[in-house]
Amino acid sequence: MRCLILGSALWFLTLPAFAKEVTIHGFVTDIASPTSFAIDDYKVTRESTLPIEVGSKQGEPGTFRAEDIRVGTELEVTGDLDEKSGQLKAKSIKAFLEDAHTIKRTALLEQVPSLTKSGSGWEGEIRADGERIRVLPTTSVMIKPNRSERKSSKENAAEPLSSSDALNLDTFVRYEGTRNADGKIDAALVEFEHEEMEPGEAKLWKKFDPDVKPPDYSNLVPGEFKMHSCVYGFCEQQIVPSKEAQDYIARIGESLIPVHQKELSADDPLKIPFRFFLVKAKSFNAVSYPNGVVVVHLGVFDILQNEAQLAFVMAHEISHAVEKHAWEAAHYHTKEIIALRASGAFIPFAGPMAASGIKSQYARSLENQADRVGLEWMLAAGYDIREAPASWKVLTDKKGDGPINPFWSSHDNKTTRRSYLMAELRNNYSDVDFSKLKIDSEEFHRIAGIVTQLEAKKKPEKPE
């Protein structure tokens, strides 16, 4: 430790005169000591006397110590950067504690929980939300009736869980707890609720049912994709007229759907009828809808380097549908609008983007969850999850490190997203054998060549 401190001190003395002042925002990805840590490619060093401010509602100045920094802590650092070495001497540090230490989330179970009775309580581990959630004898473990169960039993309140047999993979878990240094979460409260298709959600599915005209593949005539409810700004798109490319996108997508969801019978109301489309849009983007429609822009082939990176993009979108993010956001949005109007605010339009400033942190939490869950499904499909943060790196290299979405927090740029994923890998996947995971395929590059030729309005050559 003495050598480390001495080394840090010497570095301060040798900081180049041409270092420039920058502000970075991201998640801690490695820690050497309370005064030396990494955020993505930045090597941050702070003087031991430099205070850490709290930039969230969960703390006051002075309540967060340097010793509290861990992999996954969200920080904003302003300081002098040596661009050549990536070393950043901090002048100020602000910690953002939302969704970091005290955690409150809801997610679909990934595995049936391994729980055993422990005296009057339960003990074990829950796998959900891309997290490892520890249930302790002190954890309050409840089960809450869903809408249809409340109607049939007349019971509305959550009750203590009496048997783990009541839990299956069609169950959501709401959990509250604290993240420990090992990355796992010690739960104070766990509340289960069986999944169901509510009438409003069924209407939402129908609302986003697109009109589709298939391409004329033999004559290279694009198909037509028209979404009547245009909340994402992509109302009408041309479907890429390559059956090989469409089949490839569908095959990758199908491999990433969680096994339990795929195995549901076609007449099960919880079955999501996933459909995948590759459309002629040059932007780097993919969009999913609550009814399982996933639209991938061919511009992703201009950016991504391999199949594993494509798998991450698609797993992220699939998770939005499986975790019911559109339905959750609709409920959240309605509650916010009601609260604003009750306080006297004038909200003339209550559409998807209303009160976007208030929704930004919530929308960001859904994106974080899609990243976490997407990693789980990417891994289950046999892909190297290290390519998830790498996808943000290649995007940054080609498009710069600007903001991702104007309706998210202004702090969200590509470095932020990459560092978030890197922290997830360190916290939850340190025991993965990466040697057995898939990164690339010849087919990915062949399909990329096909769509490039189509964009150039050339008929793709047939493979020998």
pLDDT digits (tens, 9 = 90+) for 318-377: 999 999 998 887 775 554 434 433 434 333 333 333 334 435 666 778 889 999 999 999
Residue 221 has a pLDDT of: 95
Query: Does the structure show a pLDDT above 60 at 13?
Result: no
pLDDT digits (tens, 9 = 90+) for 160-182: 999 999 999 999 999 999 888 78
Packing angle of the helix pair 307-322, 387-399 (nearest 10 deg)? 110
Q: What percent of the chain shows pLDDT beyond 90?
A: 58
106 or 152, higher pLDDT: 106
* Angle 44-49-54 from CA coordinates, rounded to 5°: 70
C-alpha distance from residue 158 to each of 106, 144, 146, 266, 353 (Å): 15, 4, 10, 31, 33
| pLDDT-derived band at 7, boundaries 50, 70, 90 | very low
User: What does the pLDDT read at residue 461?
Assistant: 52
What domains, with CATH codes, occur in the chain? 2-96 (2.40.50), 102-196 (2.40.50), 201-455 (no CATH)
172 and 192 Cβ atoms separated by less than 8 Å: yes
- pLDDT at position 226 is 94
Cα(408)–Cα(358) distance, rounded to whole angstroms? 10
- Mean pLDDT score, 385-407: 77
| pTM listed for this prediction | 0.84
Q: Mean pLDDT of all residues in the chain? A: 84
Above 50 in pLDDT, residue 277?
yes
Instruction: Compute the average pLDDT of residues 312-322.
Output: 96
Listed in sequence order, the residues at least 6 apart from 165 whose beta carbon sits closer than 8 Å to its beta carbon are: none
pLDDT by residue (tens digit) across 441-460? 999 999 999 999 988 775 54
pLDDT higher than 50, residue 279: yes
Structure tokens at 358: 């208030």
Confidence of residue 290 (pLDDT cuts 50, 70, 90): very high
| Nearest alpha-carbon partner for 103 in 322, 422, 365, 412 | 365
Question: Binning pLDDT at 50, 70 and 90, where does residue 233 land?
Answer: low
Q: Print burial letters for 336-366: b (CB count within 10 Å at least 16), e (below 16).
A: bbeebeeeeeeeeeeebeebeeebbeebbbb
Least confident piece of the model among 139-153, 224-238, 271-285, 407-421: 407-421
Q: What residue type is assigned to position 116 of the chain?
A: T
Residue 59 has pLDDT above 50, yes or no: no
Q: How distant, in Å, are the alpha carbons of 89, 172, 260 from that of 9?
A: 11, 50, 54
pLDDT at 54: 85
C-alpha to C-alpha distance for 440 and 448, rounded to whole angstroms: 13
| Count of C-beta atoms within a 10 Å radius of residue 136 | 15
Task: Find the mean pLDDT for residues 73-99.
Answer: 89
Question: What pLDDT sits at residue 99?
Answer: 60
Structure confidence by residue, pLDDT tens digits, 89-145: 999 999 887 666 678 999 999 999 999 998 889 999 999 999 999 999 999 999 999
Measure the CA–CA gap between 369 and 421, rounded to whole angstroms: 11
Number of H helices, E strands in the chain: 12, 20
pLDDT band, very low/low/confident/very high, at 317 (cuts 50, 70, 90): very high
The 3-state secondary structure of 266-303, one letter per residue: CCCCCCCCCEEEEECCCCCCEEECCCCEEEEECCHHHH
